[in-house]
Structure 1
């Protein structure tokens, strides 16, 4: 639906832009044709006027022109020899008219331009020129302008298409970001909500058999889980508002982050009958955004718990490795096909090894967080032998 609306908006933009450019070209072409035609017409009038001023008789006018003379006080009209009968009649009639200029037809749809002039001695002169060359030049000019208009319209369509694509591209990007945000929010909220649901069920069962004071620890964990859920929502909103802005550059203890994640996910692991343990010898400082790092570690742990059968194990290890800080999440579950490790980080992709499937959306988020922190994600594993995901970050 969104793609159809964007395509329709793009088409409307192309039609409107091309129409506006085409209209401008049409107006410019029309104006150019009118001005050029008038200029050529005036040039012809000036030429005929000069011919009349220089004429001494009607016998030798310039090629394509014909003269007529009525002497003072006379009635007979002299016409250039070789003029057709129709043209002779036109000149005979014209030389008897007041001075001026007019167009006439000399038969067979042959248009002529006639200029009449009276000299001080009382003689009347007229000159006629064939308008066919002028009309031909005007037709050629009109054809050239038409071709230019069509070429300009084609160029306008291409330009409008490019401009429409550039104009609609931000909308498509915004819609894509919106869809990614919804997908990320759905995936990221699933794990904390599952943990909260599991912990609430445990509290409900234990509340029937234990005094309220013995549930304090569980209630504290429930509060911590709701705080973590709020951090996830806040981080997603910040990510949706400014996906490409740099993350906060603060010192974060990755071991402490892993400890919080393991404590938060422990109830969920027990519910699945999976042993979740943490191995961290000491602080592991890195620089970055604590909510984003917690989101990444939570996604790795949630991914591992989803692919370990009852009785399995998930181990989170935080330690230094080759000058970097490594957060390793290893499981002994269904494993994965090493040839598909690259596909696992594509959104909504999944592996085919084992009975489960490794969701690519959460892993894509992990990779995004790793890159934002100038780190990487490494994957090892084999079908039926579990998998290990390692988040490697520069030390802080």
Structure 2
């Protein structure tokens, strides 16, 4: 439905743009035709006026023109020899008219222009010119302008199509973003909400029969579930912001960020019997969004803890390497297949090693945050030998 609306909007934009350009071309072409035709008509009038002023007899007018003269004594009308009968009639009538200019038909669908003048000696002169060459040139000009307008209209259609695509592209991007955000939200929130709802129902049913210490433990689990749900929502928001909004350019101590993440994740690691270590002599400064960078490091640590068996180790190192700032998260867990390294950054990817844990938005979020900060994410490891995920960023 939405694609159909976008298609209709694009087509409507193309039609409106092409119609506007076509109208402009028609108006410009009509103006050019009118001005050119009027100028040629004026040139013909000037030429006929010169012929009348310079003529001494009717025997030798310019090609395509015919002269007539009536002497002051109102004698017979002299007409250029060889003039067609229709032109003789037109010229005979012209010398009897007042001075001026007019167009008429000399018969056989032959339009002519006639100019009449009276000289100081009392003689009356008339000259007639065949309008066929002028009309032919005007027709050729009209065809040329029509061809130019059709070519311009074709170009306008192409330009309008390109402009419409560029104009609608942000709408399509926004629609895709909206759909993906809804899909991500529904996918990521379904399980935490189900667990939260189930635990709340059980707690409500057993509240009257459970001892206080048992209720306290279950309430702690409920709080943990709500915290996990909040982290999922924060991941979704950070993911959208990192991909489609300009990030702030605040100065961030990545070593300090790593210390905060390790401190907040330590209870979770201890619950899973995983030793979480930190090697971050600071400060190590980068520029970007503190919240996005914290979520990225948290996602890497959470991923490592989830792939380490009990009594395993996860180490977070922050420092410099080859002029870049690096944040490494090293674990000695189930490892990974190097051939799957790129696929691990797809949304909701599953690993084939170990428990096949679902990655959700975690690693995809890390890659988005890295790209938004003009950095990269590197991954190394082998099956059964742990893995190292490295966030590489430019220094501040």
Which TM-score tier does this pair reach, normalised by the shorter chain?
A: 0.7 to 0.9
Secondary structure of the residue aligned to 1:121 is coil
Distance in 2 (CA, whole Å) between partners of 1:85 and 1:313 is 120
Deviations 1:15-60 (A, max 9, x none): 1101100100101100110111111111111111111111221112
State the partner residue of 1:326. 328
Could you tell me whether the CA contact under 8 Å between 1:188 and 1:362 is conserved in 2? no
What CA distance in whole angstroms lies between the structure 1 residues aligned with 2:142 and 2:168? 37
CA distance in 1, matches of 2:329, 2:354: 24
Unaligned 5+ runs, structure 1? 268-274
| Counterparts of residues 1-396 of structure 1 (less than 5 Å) | 1-189=1-189, 193=193, 196=196, 211-213=211-213, 215-216=215-216, 219-220=219-220, 222-223=222-223, 225-227=225-227, 229-230=229-230, 232-234=232-234, 236-237=236-237, 240=240, 243-246=245-248, 249-251=251-253, 252-261=256-265, 263=267, 275=272, 277-280=274-277, 289-290=290-291, 293-294=294-295, 297-298=298-299, 301=302, 305=306, 313=310, 315=312, 317-320=314-317, 323=320, 324-328=326-330, 331-332=333-334, 336-347=336-347, 356=356, 358-359=358-359, 361-372=361-372, 376-380=376-380, 385=384, 388=387, 390-392=389-391
SS in 2 for 1:57: coil
C-alpha contact (below 8 Å) 1:256/1:283 kept by paired residues: no
Kept after mapping to 2: 8 A contact 1:301/1:329: no
Q: 1:259 to 1:200 in 2, by over 3 A?
A: farther
Change (3 A) 1:47 1:143: same
**Range with bigger deviation, 65-74 or 174-183:** 174-183
The gaps in structure 2 that reach 5 residues or longer are 321-325
State the TM-score, normalized to the length of structure 2.
Answer: 0.79
Q: Report the Cα offset of residue 142 of structure 1.
A: 0.8
Q: Is the 8 A contact 1:376 1:393 kept in 2?
A: yes
Question: Structure 1 residue 131: deviation in Å?
Answer: 0.9
Structure 1 contact 277–315 (Cα < 8 Å) conserved? yes
Q: Does the residue aligned with 1:81 lie in a helix, a strand or coil?
A: coil
Taking the aligned partners of 1:237 and 1:320, their CA distance within structure 2 comes to 27
> How far off is 1:134 after superposition?
0.7
* 1:14–1:349 CA distance, 2 compared to 1 (3 A): farther
CA distance in structure 2 between the aligned counterparts of 1:47 and 1:374, rounded to whole angstroms: 75
1-side partners of 2:169 and 2:392: how far apart? 34
Following the alignment from structure 2 to structure 1, what is the Cα–Cα distance between the partners of residues 184 and 296?
A: 11
What secondary structure does 2:140 align onto? Answer: helix
Q: What value does the CA root-mean-square deviation take over the aligned residues?
A: 3.9
User: What are the superposed Cα offsets for residues 143-200 of structure 1, whole Å, 9 maximum, x if unpaired?
Assistant: 1111211121122112212221221122122223223333443455457546746865
- 1:132 offset after TM fit, Å? 1.4
Go from structure 1 to structure 2 and tell me whether the alpha carbon gap of 1:236 and 1:198 turns closer, same or farther (over 3 Å shift): same
Q: Which moved more, 1:225-234 or 1:158-167?
A: 225-234
Residue 323 of structure 2: aligned partner: none
Aligned length: 382
